Amino acid sequence: MNGAYWGLATLDLLGKLDALDSNEVIEWIMKCQHESGGFAGNIGHDPHMLYTLSAVQVLALFDKLNVLDADKVANYISGLQNEDGSFSGDEWGEVDSRFSYLAICCLSILHRLDKINVEKAVNYIASCKNVDGGFGCTPGGESHAGQIFCCVGALAITGSLHHVDKDLLGWWLCERQVKSGGLNGRPEKLPDVCYSWWVLSSLIMIDRVHWINKDKLAKFILNCQDTENGGISDRPEDAVDVYHTYFGIAGLSLLEYPGLKAIDPAHALPLLISIPATSHSLSKTQEHRNPNNLNIHNSQIGVHISTVTSMALTHNFNHIFPTPSSSSKHKHSLTTTLPFSPKTHTKSHFFSTNIPSRIHNLQNPLPTFTRRLFLPSVSGIWDALTGGNSNAREAVMAIRRGMLLFRQGDVLGSLVEFDKAIELDTRQKAYLWQRGLSLYYVDRFEEGADQFRIDVAQNPNDTEESIWCFLCEAQLYGVDEARKRFLEVGRDPRPVMREAYNMFKDGGDPEKFAAAFSNGQGNEYFYASLYAGLYHEAQKEPEAAKVQIVAACRSPYGQRSDDYMASLAKVHCLCRNWSSD
Ligand SMILES: [Zn+2]
C-alpha cells in the first residue's frame, strides 16, 4: 500500500498519473479495507494506521474519496486514540508520535478531525518535544528528522505550530545539510535523498527553509538519478527504488523545481487536491514553473515509476514507518502477483529488476549525544538571512568566519571575528559561547567566565557552559573557590554530560569517569575523555590532562566528527604543544 502511494504520488507530481488505470487501482485498494474500517498493506493482511493513510492518500490523488465510507475509516482511527491523547498504530497497541501524524493527516483529508480529541492529541505531540527543539517518538525519545516531520506536520494541520520553537528547530534542521548539499536525518549520519522530504517540508512549515542551500540540495537529488532507466536512489551511484524516487521528486517539488506539481508539505499530497490547506501551502501555488526547463529525466522516471509501483506492491517496503509488529498473527507473505498492471509501454526487463530491500532501520536508532545545546547564535539570524538587517547579516558571517578560524587553530583570529560580530549586532553577545572557548585558550579567563555566565543566563540548561565557566574560574581563583561559584543548570539529556557536570560540581575521579564511558555509544567516549582531561587541567595536573585529551582526539569521534568540540580537542593539544597524531 505504501508502495502504491509512493509510486502514484510520484506519477502525479510528474503529471503522469494516467499511466495507470485508476479503476484497477481503486478496486485493489478497496479490497485491502478491513471490516474495522482500516486498511491493510495488501489484500487479506491486518489493518494498520500507516496503510490506512496511504490508501486515503491514493484515493485523494484520483479524486475518489467518495468511494469511501469516511465515517467508518474515521471511527477506526478514533478508536486508536489513547487516554493521554497519543495514538496506537493498530490493535496491538504500539504508541509513537508518528501514529499521531498518520491519524491527524488522514482525518484532515477526510474532513473528520472532529472525531478525535484534537487538544489531547496536540498536547501529547508537544510532550515529545526535546530541548534541542526536535521531536522524538515518545516523550524523551531522541530527535530525528522523520519524527520531526510527523510532529510538525500534525501541529501544522491542527493549527498548533505555536508549540514549535521555530528558531531552535530551524537550526537543528538546517544543520542536517552536509557538504555535498544532501541532508541527513540525525547528526553524524550520511545524507540521504529521503531526508530532502522530511527535513525540507519541516523547514517550510516553520518558515525557515531559507536557512539551507536549496540549489545544492536540488543538485544532490538530481545526482541520485539513474539517468538511463529513471528513478532516484538514496545516494549517488546506489540502486534506485520507488521510495527514494518519490521523496526525491517530492523534495524537488518543495524546491519549486520546474515542471513538477507543487506539493502540500503537511499532507504530502499534490496541491489542488481538495484538502484543508495549511497556511504555508496557500502561498506555494506554482503556476509559474517553466516546464521547458527540465533537467530532470522526467519521462523516464515516469515510466520507471509505473513499473516499480506495481513491483513495490509485491515487496515489503519498510522504511520510515515500521510495518506492524512482527506478531505471528500478522500475515506478511510476499505475494508474487501484481495487484494491478501499468497501462503504458514499460519495458519488460524492468520487471526482472530487483527492488533493493535496503532498509533504513529507524526502529532502533543509535542514540547520539552531540553538543546540541551549544547552538550557534540564533538572535538576529532571521534578519540576517532575509536581508532585513545588514549588520545582523554581517554579524552572522563574522561568527561563521570566527568558528572556521578556531577550527583551523587560529584562536586569536577567531576572537577578532567574534568581537566584530558583537560590535555589529550586540544581541549576539548573549549567545557567543564560541567566544568564551577562544578566550580560555588565550588565557583571558575573566572575560571567558563573564561570557559563559551571560550565556547560561540565556540558556539555563547548558551543562557545558557551566563547566567552562568553572574551568575559567578555576584558573583565576583555584578549584575550591570556582566550585563555590559553580553555576547550577538544568538536567542534561546526555548521560555523559550529566556525569561530567556532577564531577565538576562535587568532585570525583576523572579516570573512573572516563572508564565508565570507554565502551559508550556514539561520542560518549570522546566527551568523557575530553572533560576528564579538562578536569585534570583545572587541578593543575598537565600530564594526566594530556593523556585524556589526546585520547579524545584519537577516538573515532574525535578524528572524524565535525562537532565543534572535536575541533576544540585538537586546538587544545595545539595550544599545549601536545602531539595528537
Ligand atoms: Zn532514505
pLDDT in tens, 138-162: 998 888 999 999 999 999 999 899 9
359 has pLDDT over 50: no
Q: What is the pLDDT of residue 173?
A: 93
If one counts every other C-beta atom within 10 angstroms of the C-beta of residue 251, the result is: 27
Highest mean pLDDT out of 121-125, 225-229, 289-293, 378-382 = 121-125
* Band (357; pLDDT cuts 50, 70, 90): very low
194 Cα: distance to centroid of ligand 1 (angstroms):
4
β-bridge mates for residue 264, sequence order: 269
pLDDT of residue 568: 96
Greater model confidence, 479 or 18: 479
Q: Do 182 and 220 meet the contact criterion of CB atoms below 8 Å apart?
A: yes
CA of 86 to the centre of ligand 1 (A): 26
At residue 525, does pLDDT exceed 90? yes
Find the 44 Cα to ligand 1 centroid distance in Å. 28
- How many angstroms does the Cα of residue 222 sit away from the middle of ligand 1? 15
Q: Long-range contacts for 444-452 (Cβ within 8 Å, ≥24 apart)?
A: 445/472, 445/473, 445/475, 445/476, 446/472, 446/476, 448/472, 449/473, 449/476, 452/487
Q: If you measure from the C-alpha of residue 270 to the centroid of ligand 1, how many angstroms do you get, rounded to a whole number?
A: 21
If you average pLDDT over every residue of the chain, what do you get? 80
Please tell me which of 169-183, 198-212, 247-261, 467-481 the model is most confident about, judged by mean pLDDT.
Answer: 467-481
Distance 277 CA to ligand 1 centre (A): 27
Rounded Cα–Cα distance for residues 476 and 445 (Å): 7
Between the CA of 223 and the centroid of ligand 1 the distance, in Å, is: 15
pLDDT confidence tier of residue 385, bands split at 50, 70 and 90: very low
Give the residue-averaged pLDDT of 353-359: 28
Percent with pLDDT over 70 in the chain: 79
Q: With CA atoms as reference, report the closest residue to 323 among 151, 57, 98.
A: 98
φ, ψ at 270 (rounded to 5°): -55, 145
| Per-residue confidence (pLDDT) for residue 79, from 0 to 100 | 96
Whole-prediction pTM: 0.56
pLDDT at 105: 95
Q: Using one digit for the tens of pLDDT, what is the confidence trace for 243-282?
A: 999 999 999 999 888 888 888 889 888 875 545 444 443 3
Closest CA to 1 of 452, 304, 314, 287: 314
* Ligand 1 centroid from CA 193, angstroms: 6
CB 400 within 8 A of CB 349: no
pLDDT for residue 97: 93
CA of 192 to the centre of ligand 1 (A): 5
Closest alpha carbon to 477 in 515, 449, 509: 449
Range in 153-162, 301-310, 329-338, 492-501 the model is least confident about = 329-338
Q: What is the pLDDT of residue 390?
A: 66
Who contacts 14 (Cβ-Cβ below 8 Å, separation ≥6)? 249, 259, 260, 261, 298, 301, 302, 305
CA nearest to 102, candidates 89, 114, 91, 113: 89
Lowest mean pLDDT, pick from 10-14, 194-198, 393-397, 503-507: 393-397
Q: What residues does the ion ligand 1 have nearby, CB within 5 Å?
A: 192, 194, 234, 360
Farthest CA pair distance, the chain: 80
pLDDT band, very low/low/confident/very high, at 298 (cuts 50, 70, 90): low
Q: Where are the alpha helices (DSSP H) in 353-477?
A: 381-386, 390-407, 411-424, 433-441, 445-458, 463-477
Q: Specify the residue for cell string 577562544.
A: 438
Buried b (16+ CB within 10 A) or exposed e, 169-178: bbbbbbbbbe
pLDDT, residue 120, reads 96
Please state, in angstroms and as integers, the Cα–Cα distance from residue 536 to each residue in 137, 483, 508, 558, following that order: 39, 15, 11, 19
Average pLDDT estimate for 511-520: 92
pLDDT at 37: 96
Looking at the DSSP bridge assignments, the partners of residue 342 are 20
Residue 427 confidence (pLDDT): 79
Instruction: Kindly state the average pLDDT of the residues 62-75.
Output: 94
Q: Ligand 1 center to residue 25 CA distance, Å?
A: 26
146 CA distance to ligand 1 middle (Å)? 10
